[in-house]
Structure 1
Amino acid sequence: MTVKQAVGKVHLWLGLASGLVVFIVSLTGAIFVFQDEIRDLTEPWRKVEAQATAQLLPSRLQEAALVKHPEVKKATTWVTYFGPERSATVFFTDPAGTPTQVYLNPYTGRVLHEQNLRYHFFSIVQAIHMTLLLPEAVAKWVVGGSVIIFVVMLVTGLVLWWPKRKQERKQRLTIKWGARWRRVNYDLHNVLGFYAASIAAVLALTGLFMVFPGLLDSAVLVANGGREYPQEKDVAKVDTLQAVTAANQPVPDLVYRTVRRRSPQAEMVLIGPTGMGKAPAYCWAYQRTLHYYHRDDYAFHPVSGEVLQARFHTSKSNGGKLSDMNYDLHTGQILGLGGKIVAFLASLISASLPVTGTVLWWGRKQKSKKARKHPKPLVTR
């Protein structure tokens, strides 16, 4: 058995083992890529008319959002400002475990819509994409393991695709649409797989970084040239033994005012729960709405509102910036609409590879059976 034949065997059996998971994950990923654009068209409550007045403080939005939910504590909610022409949201999970998102006009506090995210289409698509609706501990290895296999498949596929002679390259780069369907299927698998391989690898690796944080840490170390930045790993802590003076205003309001002052260019501001005094209150300020790469990170004392930690994008290492851009790389939105289109096409092609590969394997299997059943007669002279 030659090396290429051995690689072919590995490619075949790994593909059959992971094909179904790769198909589902890739297809749901393709659907999810344009979720913001689709939701902006189908959910009018996501947009508001910009006004010259300042947007309301978080405590006012929390109060308005929880009128129908008195059992939910303000300190457990997430408040997000998405910019001057978008509604603000208050997210919480009620005592029954229902994840709820309330959309409000940030200038008036009027509730525009309340959404149960458990049954939202894109929430379900995202859950399937990330876990296949399996328990998280199981999904980590089923989905993560299959994506690792997919990366290996991309490498072995390139080895199998690589032509021995230069004159064969043109043939390997085009699809013969006028040929028989088996040949077209073969070309779809090989040619499209080649064109999508590099983008598919980026999508797969960035997805693995979310599943296995240790892999992301390794990528960050490589991006930093092997240099460590301990300050970027420091976790803000609350000294519960130290007596502090309570803030003279709601902590979320103090957090919001501080972040608006220190990160004035931020379009999107996400304020986390203030907790019960034991954990810091976190806030993230993003330069662009619905983009998660360029961000400043804050941690506040949940009682006094004192700034415990402030980490600005401009001061982060290359590895830190790489970590921040991981989601935008995974969805393609790091390059705007064009990047999303590329990610969408690469995801569709990735979903097609297990299908065309299985058809290719099945056809060869049937051909082999026929050959064994009807052997060629011996010709004698």
Structure 2
Amino acid sequence: MRKFILQVHLWVGLTAGAVLAVMGFTGSLYVFQPELTVALYPELYKTSQPDGTPVDVRTIVQNAEQQFGKEVISINFPMRELENYILKVEGNKQWLFFDAGTGRYLGQMENRRGIMDDLLDLHRNLTIGENGVLITRTCALLLAFVLLSSGLYMWWPKKKRNLKDGLRLKPNASFKRRNYDLHNVFGFYFSIPLLLAAITGAYFGFQEKTQQVVDTLTLAKEPTPYVKKLQSAYQAGVPPLDIYQALDRMDQLYPAYKPRTLVLAPDSLATLNLTYLASKELEAGPQYRPMVYLDQYTGGIVYDYNPETAPIGRKLTRNWFVPIHFGELGGWVTRVLWFFLGLMPGTLWITGLLIWTGKKKKNKKRGYSIPGKRVVAL
């Protein structure tokens, strides 16, 4: 049994490990996305009046529509490191930035976060679209349910007196031994954080399926609606809500929360989407993010996710998965930890690869080859 598990661990690690290394490294950088985005694009993200009261969003909308001659269809409100408004107008794919302190137009970018969106694209789907999503999320599931479990099985010593060796780096060790210890020791200590990051990461790629599993495990009385399939009741000849009516509706719902995004329906059947945040600043713990999907013709609620009253399965994925995956659960402490966590898949892949190649060379010198014998790879 041990030899079989070893082979599974080896070959899954050698293949999926390369993808996980890329995902981990890009994820490490993306942990500090808000701060890096501001540092890269301060002229767009920093307001000219940081201590002043933000200009009313309707004034921003008016300025945008006057300047570009088109209706505003999407709004991102100031929050966290973003101090300004970001809008989109009909027929323009660029993100438009407006100073929250003065209402002045600042400029535009194709990506809302500039190069950081390219980094996210590489992290999520390897820049190859839906096929990339399938690859990255499958690798995340392999990490969670194959590599970590098989790695811990092989890490566990046959004799209790050898347990201490698996918990520390051996001093004054050779390169070969140090590499082996790095793989085993780091793999053990980071196993639980890696498991959490992998499961929550898979959720973002297989959201509907993951939510179904969570709902089943938490004995939900009814399934969670898949928001991408929600629709408005089409009414011929009835105009959809415009941006100002949508803002009025947004003000009526969740007045104790901060507005985060408003997106008008992109076609005649889609819903109008509103999202909120409990706080504009980064806070440790779960993140309460109400999400409301409205009928674009009547303004009636099609689906309302209330983070305080929702079933436990929805609370788990909506309130907890985001801060867990991005390392925000414990504030700055876990963000720093998650930065190093992102380096672990690459570290384990490289050290595992070195262990494997070392064993191959050793067996070749002996005149025979047993592929992967006693090799531990990510």
Residues 1:90 and 2:87 aligned together: yes
* Aligned-residue offset at 1:33: 1.1
Q: 1:69 to 1:331 in 2, by over 3 A?
A: same
Q: 1:17 to 1:92 in 2, by over 3 A?
A: farther
Counterpart among 4, 7, 15 of residue 2 in structure 2: 4
User: In the alignment, which residue of structure 2 is the partner of 1:344?
Assistant: 339
Contact 1:103 1:114 in 2 (8 A): yes
Counterpart among 364, 369, 374 of residue 364 in structure 2: 369
* Aligned-residue offset at 1:354: 0.8
Residues 1:169 and 2:163 aligned together: yes
Deviations 1:138-189 (A, max 9, x none): 2233222322222211110000100122221111111125211111110111
User: In the alignment, which residue of structure 1 is the partner of 2:372?
Assistant: none
* Aligned-residue offset at 1:93: 8.2
For residue 329 of structure 2, give the secondary structure of its aligned residue in structure 1. Answer: helix
User: In the alignment, which residue of structure 1 is the partner of 2:134?
Assistant: 141
The one-letter code sitting in structure 1 at the alignment partner of 2:220 is R
Deviations 1:273-295 (A, max 9, x none): 24455432111111123769312
* Aligned-residue offset at 1:94: 5.0
- 1:284 and 1:241 mapped to 2: Cα distance? 25
Counterpart among 322, 331, 335 of residue 326 in structure 2: 331
The one-letter code sitting in structure 1 at the alignment partner of 2:86 is T
User: In the alignment, which residue of structure 1 is the partner of 2:376?
Assistant: none
User: In the alignment, which residue of structure 1 is the partner of 2:371?
Assistant: none
User: In the alignment, which residue of structure 1 is the partner of 2:210?
Assistant: 216
Residues 1:272 and 2:279 aligned together: no
Q: Give the TM-score, by structure 2 length.
A: 0.84
Counterpart among 108, 121, 143 of residue 127 in structure 1: 121
User: In the alignment, which residue of structure 1 is the partner of 2:26?
Assistant: 28
Deviations 1:27-81 (A, max 9, x none): 11111111112223343232333566563234x43443466655xx425x32011
Query: Which of the pair has more CA radius of gyration?
Result: 1
Counting only pairs closer than 5 Å after superposition, residues 1-381 of structure 1 correspond to structure 2 as 3-44=1-42, 45-48=44-47, 49-50=49-50, 53=53, 55-58=55-58, 60-65=59-64, 69-70=68-69, 73-74=70-71, 77-83=73-79, 86-91=83-88, 99-117=93-111, 120-136=114-130, 138-151=131-144, 152-222=146-216, 224=218, 226-230=219-223, 237-241=231-235, 251-275=242-266, 277-289=268-280, 293-325=287-319, 326-372=321-367
Deviations 1:7-40 (A, max 9, x none): 1111111112222111111111111111112223
- 1:142 and 1:306 mapped to 2: Cα distance? 38
Count of paired positions: 359
> Unpaired segments of 5 or more residues in structure 2?
369-378
For residue 177 of structure 2, give the secondary structure of its aligned residue in structure 1. Answer: helix
RMSD: 3.0
Q: 1:26 to 1:52 in 2, by over 3 A?
A: closer
Q: 1:220 to 1:17 in 2, by over 3 A?
A: same
Contact 1:33 1:340 in 2 (8 A): yes
Structure 1 moving runs of 4+ over 6 Å: none
